[in-house]
Amino acid sequence: MTQARLKLGMVGGGNGAFIGAVHRMAARLDDCYTLVAGALSSDPDRATQSATSLGLDPARSYTDFQHMATAEAAREDGIDVVAIVTPNHLHAPVATAFLNAGIHVICDKPLSVSLDEALALQTLSRQQNRLFALTHTYSGYPMVRHARQLVASGALGDIRVVQVEYAQDWLSEPLELTDNKQALWRADPSRAGPAGCLGDIGTHAYHLAAYVSGMTPASLSAEAHTFVAGRKLDDHVQAMLRYANGARGMLWASQVAAGEENALRLRIYGTRAGIAFDQQNPNFLEYTPLGGATQQLTRGRVESEEARHATRVPPGHPEGYLEAFAQLYLDAALQINAMNNSQPVPKVSQLLTTVDDGVAGMRFIAAVLASSQANGQWTEI
């Protein structure tokens, strides 16, 4: 920590929530933030309880995010940035409130529940000149960033094929009929929006492919499907992709793939080489030049400023999901500090995912839903 710690607020993430705790660990790891305020729950008791257990000043524990935005903006020592870790339907209203209050935003994905909301947030964050970071966690892995750099450097030649998938099995059964909080809101259109598996993990797959390949598809043919009887949103998505440069691709996301924990896998094939990444073994990146042997790249075996910037421990000491998440918080801190000091944003921090990635994700969701409703018709993104 060579810069001032940023004052962080949080909306959502009260006791019992999953992703809120992850954001807090990520924010702590590199010592760039101090959590000082929160609207941790809309339930007043739970908000208070959560704030207490986190050691917050009771005066800065809010139950209303709008109130929090106004109050914090008015304080001399008000928060620099808010982390939004609510269910999807609240992302846009909360972000809007804080952007309007001149406060930087770090928001979980998907960005919103509609493309219109997403576009409005994009516009607003630019008008307000505030950072809008979106936590596409997997983009924080050193080997993902190195993969992106490999593609950008031309090491793969012209990209021909993109294969991406994200398979889980935790919704193989109707878990939303139990009291599983994570399943409950994700299967509820009023909180998750119109996309189930598609929004929850399909967007991650889509983003990872775009982030590394440097390309988004021009059009797709897709089917969103629901396997579990009575489920209100999709739990399985498959799509074929066409890119402007002639490349082809496939995307698959499923939450009913029995035996898979969190299998986000990306393969990209070019005219000169292919690469493969598996989120469950994130310390490795396979790289195979055409005609050559497959190389198992690690942080320790590549010269890569991008990977080094995203690295905390020496090669052979594995890093994981929390470190990737922390990387987004670190990059956000670097950018916010620069913006707060009217300095140019450091180049290494610019791999941070933002509202722009969120808009792209919402375009993807819209296109999949449209194509699926038209029985797989090729649809522009």
In the range 160-199, which residues lie near a copy of itself by CB under 8 A? 160-161, 163, 165, 168-169, 172
DSSP at 227: -
135 binds a copy of itself (CB under 8 A): no
Per CB under 8 A, does 311 bind a copy of itself? no
According to DSSP, the β-strands at 104-107 and 159-167 are unpaired
Q: Are 167 and 252 in contact (CB under 8 A)?
A: yes
Structure tokens at 246: 């002639």
Q: Which residue has the tokens 């990444």?
A: 277
Indicate which single residue of 62, 206, 321, 364 sits in contact with a copy of itself (rule: CB under 8 A). 321
Of 56-64, 112-120, 238-246, 339-347, which segment contacts a copy of itself by CB under 8 A?
Answer: 238-246
Binding mask 51-90 for a copy of itself (x = CB under 8 A): --xxx-----------------------------------
Edge-to-edge strands, sheet with 81-84: 33-39, 6-11, 81-84, 104-107, 132-134
Kindly identify the residues of this chain, within the stretch 342-361, that bind a copy of itself according to CB under 8 A. none
Closest CB to a copy of itself among residues 92, 332 = 332
Closer of 22 and 99 to a copy of itself (Cβ): 22
With contacts defined by CB under 8 A, name the span among 57-65, 78-86, 108-116, 267-275 that binds a copy of itself. Answer: 267-275
User: Could you say which residues in the range 16-35 bind a copy of itself, by CB under 8 A?
Assistant: 18, 21-22, 24-25, 28-31
Give CA–CA dist 288/69, Å, rounded: 50
Number of residues in contact with a copy of itself, rule: CB under 8 A? Answer: 89
Asked if 223 is part of the footprint of a copy of itself (rule: CB under 8 A), the reply reads yes
3-state secondary structure of 170: coil
**Stretch (H or E) spanning 266:** strand 263-270
Residue 64, CA atoms < 13 Å, CB-side half-sphere = 4
Q: What 3-state DSSP class applies to 207?
A: helix
Q: How far is the CB of 112 from a copy of itself (least distance, A)?
A: 24
Does residue number 364 form part of the binding site for a copy of itself (CB under 8 A)? no
* CB of residue 252 to a copy of itself, shortest distance in Å: 6
For 334, the 3-state DSSP assignment is helix
Nearer to a copy of itself, 150 or 362 (CB): 150
Helix (H, G, I), strand (E, B) or coil at 82: strand
Q: Provide, rounded to whole angstroms, the least separation between the CB of residue 94 and a copy of itself.
A: 24
230 belongs to the binding site for a copy of itself (CB under 8 A):
no
Give strand pairing partners of 268.
162, 275
Give the Cα separation of 143 and 146 in Å (integer). Answer: 5
Residues of this chain, 141-160, that bind a copy of itself according to CB under 8 A: 156-157, 160
Sequence length of the chain is 381
Q: Least Å distance between CB 234 and a copy of itself?
A: 11
Binding flag, residue 295, a copy of itself (CB under 8 A): yes
Does 379 bind a copy of itself (CB under 8 A)? Our answer is no
State in angstroms the smallest separation of the CB of 1 from a copy of itself: 7
CA dist list (Å): 294 to 142, 275, 276, 289: 19, 9, 10, 7
Q: Which is nearer to a copy of itself, 117 or 319 (CB)?
A: 319
Among 63-71, 94-102, 316-324, 342-350, which window interacts with a copy of itself (CB under 8 A)? 316-324
Pick from 82, 164, 273, 334: which binds a copy of itself (CB under 8 A)? 273
Cα angle vertex 313, ends 309, 315, to 5°? Answer: 95
Q: Cα separations (Å) of 50 from 47, 77, 143, 167, 375? A: 5, 21, 35, 33, 47
